[in-house]
Amino acid sequence: MHELRKDILLGRWVAVMSESKAPSEYNLLSYKTQEERNCILCPGREYETPPEITSVRMPRSSKWWVRALPSLNPVFQIEGDLGRKGVGIYDKMNSIGANEILIESPEHTVRPEDLGIEQMIRVITLYRERIADLEKDSRFRYILIYKDSGVDAGEIFSHPLSFLMATPMIPKTVKDELDNAKQYFTYKERCIFCDIISEELRAGERVILETKNFVAFCPYAAQFPFESWIIPKRHCCAFNEITYEEIEDMGLILMSVLKKLRIIFRDPPFNYYIHTAPNMIPRRDHWHTLGEDFHWHLEIMPRLIRTSGFEWGSGFYILPTSPENAAKYLREVG
Amino acid sequence: MHELRKDILLGRWVAVMSESKAPSEYNLLSYKTQEERNCILCPGREYETPPEITSVRMPRSSKWWVRALPSLNPVFQIEGDLGRKGVGIYDKMNSIGANEILIESPEHTVRPEDLGIEQMIRVITLYRERIADLEKDSRFRYILIYKDSGVDAGEIFSHPLSFLMATPMIPKTVKDELDNAKQYFTYKERCIFCDIISEELRAGERVILETKNFVAFCPYAAQFPFESWIIPKRHCCAFNEITYEEIEDMGLILMSVLKKLRIIFRDPPFNYYIHTAPNMIPRRDHWHTLGEDFHWHLEIMPRLIRTSGFEWGSGFYILPTSPENAAKYLREVG
């Protein structure tokens, strides 16, 4: 019989199909890299983009390795105040925030898993630097870093890049995670994520890869088939407290998991994003250690299936491949 | 400046773009009706489907107008007990429930907006009958009726049909709606949906169509552009308490809104679903009137845009067309 599993973090149930679908049985969404002969994110056209926020340059050279730019089409505006007010029975505020493009490489066609560890370290360090910088702005409650790879995953530029959005509120999905983690902590006095890590390492069957500092696994009640999480073993609520050693280790494990997905599905569309603690949480003081109840992590969502009215209407997801089988395919490849 | 709006029902914020995108600017997902020359849901092949659950037949004829069948590929199984138990730190249960296919017409190619009112009444009546029947089973906590139209909306059969899923838990999206509606009711002692109806009729700018018994409108903080809701003016928590007069009126308003969407976007992929109260809520007693805090409705989600890592990672949505402009396009067409 199929099985229903409860997501311990979000309280959401998912259905796991008993006869797990093999990777080759997925009818992959059409993946096409958009041709962009005139990519303004490539080197040599820096004058056509908005002025850069920051960059890391090659020594004794004007060439850059990674760059952060303001979005070309921003949803949020950096200047102004929040102006929160009521409209009839509803609430609104100004769209204050930040949108940035984090260019991962000067090379137009390189894939994240092929960046090489040196460059991947620069990318992850750029993530950390941009979050650390924007956290100083007290209007921003949350900073999300995410990546869209493939047209069906919402990719709009074929140049390798990630995005950053700083929002004036904690987004709902993150708030649900935070609230449930807090509730668990109140009851157990332990971090739910640390408990998930122990459980996964004990059970083993959903682990893809383990390194000194990280575990990559397929969550017990994933939202999508082949969903994979990368989580640091060291308890830490905020991504931007990552150490240099952890950055290197994270780069290696992220590239490994992405390479495994690419081999299994031949360039599947995917998204990934980092869930970190919100801003303005004082993380430590002399009496309590705050931030005990959250634990940053990265979630990779391969976009292998289409969502229907069932998922949109219910928030209930169906997994054609069990997380145990997905992890097995991922462990065994590459 | 763009605007951020809070969904009063779910507490989710959305960003509404200031320069509203016109319908012609949407780069529509590829819509293709799958060719099914050998459709087993067409008349004449009844012996090839699982035994039907119910049907409405033409008088003095063996021909049917609408039919309910068990799913050909069920996620849920009707027989068995829930067997809820822990697995390490996690929870699971058996996949007990019901999946039905509700065939809307014997004609293979008819679209729901062209069914004609007589047939649409039969479809909505079938929805009501199936819910009323399955509600008797105390293992089922929720019954969701939904429709997928177009491959990019998850359509798997090109024959016109809706689906029914009876689940042993209240799905997360519905639970969020219920919890927030309850919280509002506790504070205001009024139904949040009744308040939304008054507000929308007062403001007028988001109303698409109003009939004697229903209002169709674009929600203030919709999740998707051109999202449209159909809601009964009479307060009632449960869809299956719909009256005959309301069924006719609902059929007319639903066909109108779908026709408007079809004209504007030329056969856009869309989903719709009915949000009704969960099972096993005693709806009335002598002391209280229970079910005061929920109000059933139908939500139509045109699938005009792709979701990216931003939406999946945050639960925050971006509306390229404001609900006021979407409602204006929908009011003025057809």
pLDDT digits (tens, 9 = 90+) for A152-161: 898 988 899 9
Instruction: Extract the runs of DSSP E, i.e. beta strands, from B39-197.
Output: 54-57, 64-70, 85-87, 90-94, 98-103, 142-149, 161-167
Task: Give yes or no for residue A32 having a pLDDT over 60.
Answer: no
Nearest to A308 among B15, B176, B271 (CB): B271
Contact flag B172-A13 (C-beta cutoff 8 Å): yes
Q: What is the pLDDT of residue B11?
A: 79
pLDDT band for position A34 (cuts 50, 70, 90): low
- Tokens, residue A96: 């204050």
What distance in Å separates residue A7's CA from the closest CA in chain B? 8
pLDDT band for position A179 (cuts 50, 70, 90): very high
B8 burial level (CB within 10 Å; 0-12, 13-18, 19+): buried
The CATH topology of domain A3-332 is HIT family, subunit A (3.30.428)
What distance in Å separates residue B1's CA from the closest CA in chain A? 7
Residue that wins the pLDDT comparison between A163 and B72: A163
Nearest to B147 among A6, A152, A309 (CB): A309
Chain B residues whose beta carbon lies within 8 Å of the beta carbon of residue A12: 172
Residue that wins the pLDDT comparison between A33 and A206: A206
Domain made up of B3-27+41-332: CATH architecture: 2-Layer Sandwich (3.30)
Is beta strand A3-6 parallel, antiparallel or unpaired with respect to A85-87?
Answer: unpaired
Task: Give yes or no for residue A285 having a pLDDT over 80.
Answer: no
Mutate one of A29, A87, A95 to test the B interface: name it (highest B CB count within 10 A): A95
Q: For residue B55, what are the CA distances in angstroms to A126, B38, B44?
A: 61, 21, 14
Chain B residues whose beta carbon lies within 8 Å of the beta carbon of residue A199: 88-90
Contact flag B95-A4 (C-beta cutoff 8 Å): yes
A235 burial level (CB within 10 Å; 0-12, 13-18, 19+): middle
Q: What is the pLDDT of residue B282?
A: 45
Task: Give yes or no for residue A288 having a pLDDT over 70.
Answer: no
Which H or E run contains A216?
strand A214-217
Q: What SS3 string covers B87-104? A: ECCEEEEECECEEEEEEC
Segment A266-284 mean pLDDT: 82
Query: Position A169: which residue type?
Result: M
Give residue A262's region: left, alpha or beta (phi > 0; psi -120 to 50): alpha
Percentage of chain A with pLDDT > 90? 69
How many CA atoms lie within 13 Å of B189's alpha carbon, on the beta-carbon side?
1
pLDDT digits (tens, 9 = 90+) for A98-123: 999 999 999 999 999 999 999 999 99
Q: What is the pLDDT of residue B251?
A: 98
Q: For residue B60, what are the CA distances in angstroms to A309, B57, B64, B103?
A: 36, 8, 11, 21
Task: Give yes or no for residue A287 having a pLDDT over 60.
Answer: no
Mutate one of A7, A12, A13, A87 to test the B interface: name it (highest B CB count within 10 A): A13
What SS3 state is found at B32?
coil
Chain A residues whose beta carbon lies within 8 Å of the beta carbon of residue B10: 172
Contact flag B88-A203 (C-beta cutoff 8 Å): yes
Chain B residues whose beta carbon lies within 8 Å of the beta carbon of residue A309: 146-148, 153-154, 163, 271-273, 301
Nearest to A172 among B30, B203, B315 (CB): B315
Contact flag A80-B11 (C-beta cutoff 8 Å): no
Whether the Cβ atoms of residue A265 and residue A26 lie closer than 8 Å to each other? yes
The alpha-helical segments, DSSP class H, found in B189-293 are: 192-203, 244-265
- Residue B148: closest CA among B187, B101, B93, B180: B101
Mutate one of B21, B89, B144, B164 to test the A interface: name it (highest A CB count within 10 A): B89
Contact flag B80-A1 (C-beta cutoff 8 Å): yes
Count interface pairs A-B at CB distance under 8 A.
219
Ordered strands of the A13-16 beta sheet: A317-319, A13-16, A3-6, B90-94, B85-87
> In whole angstroms, what is the distance from residue A264 CA to residue A113 CA?
14
- Residue A305: closest CA among A331, A330, A326: A326
Backbone angles phi and psi of B116, in degrees to 5: 85, 150
pLDDT digits (tens, 9 = 90+) for A123-132: 999 999 999 9
Chain B residues whose beta carbon lies within 8 Å of the beta carbon of residue A147: 309
What distance in Å separates residue A311's CA from the closest CA in chain B? 9
Query: C-alpha A330: how far from its chain's center?
Result: 19
- Residue B274: closest CA among B244, B299, B237, B295: B299
Nearest to B309 among A3, A93, A147 (CB): A147
Nearest to B310 among A11, A144, A202 (CB): A144
- Tokens, residue A185: 């902590």
> In whole angstroms, what is the distance from residue A273 CA to residue A268 CA?
16
Place of tokens 């299956």: B240
What distance in Å separates residue B35's CA from the closest CA in chain A? 17
Segment A315-324 mean pLDDT: 93
Whether the Cβ atoms of residue A319 and residue A15 lie closer than 8 Å to each other? yes
Residue that wins the pLDDT comparison between A81 and A295: A295
Task: Give yes or no for residue A84 having a pLDDT over 90.
Answer: no
Whether the Cβ atoms of residue B294 and residue B175 lie closer than 8 Å to each other? no
Q: What is the pLDDT of residue B121?
A: 98
pLDDT along chain B (334 residues), means of 10: 84 83 76 67 91 93 94 88 89 92 95 96 98 91 95 90 94 92 92 96 97 97 96 95 97 98 92 91 49 93 92 92 95 91
Segment A9-16 mean pLDDT: 83
What is the predicted ipTM? 0.90
User: Residue A320: which residues within 8 A CB-CB, separation 6 or more?
Assistant: A17, A20, A21, A25, A26, A225, A305
User: Residue B37: which residues within 8 A CB-CB, separation 6 or more?
Assistant: none
Q: What is the pLDDT of residue A282?
A: 45
Nearest to B153 among A199, A271, A308 (CB): A308
**Which DSSP category does A33 fall into?**
P
**Which DSSP category does A112 fall into?**
G
Domain boundaries of chain B, sorted by first residue: 3-27+41-332
Contact flag B1-A75 (C-beta cutoff 8 Å): no
pLDDT digits (tens, 9 = 90+) for A250-267: 999 999 999 999 999 988
Ordered strands of the A161-167 beta sheet: A54-57, A64-70, A98-103, A161-167, A142-149, A270-275, A297-302, A228-232, A214-217, A207-210
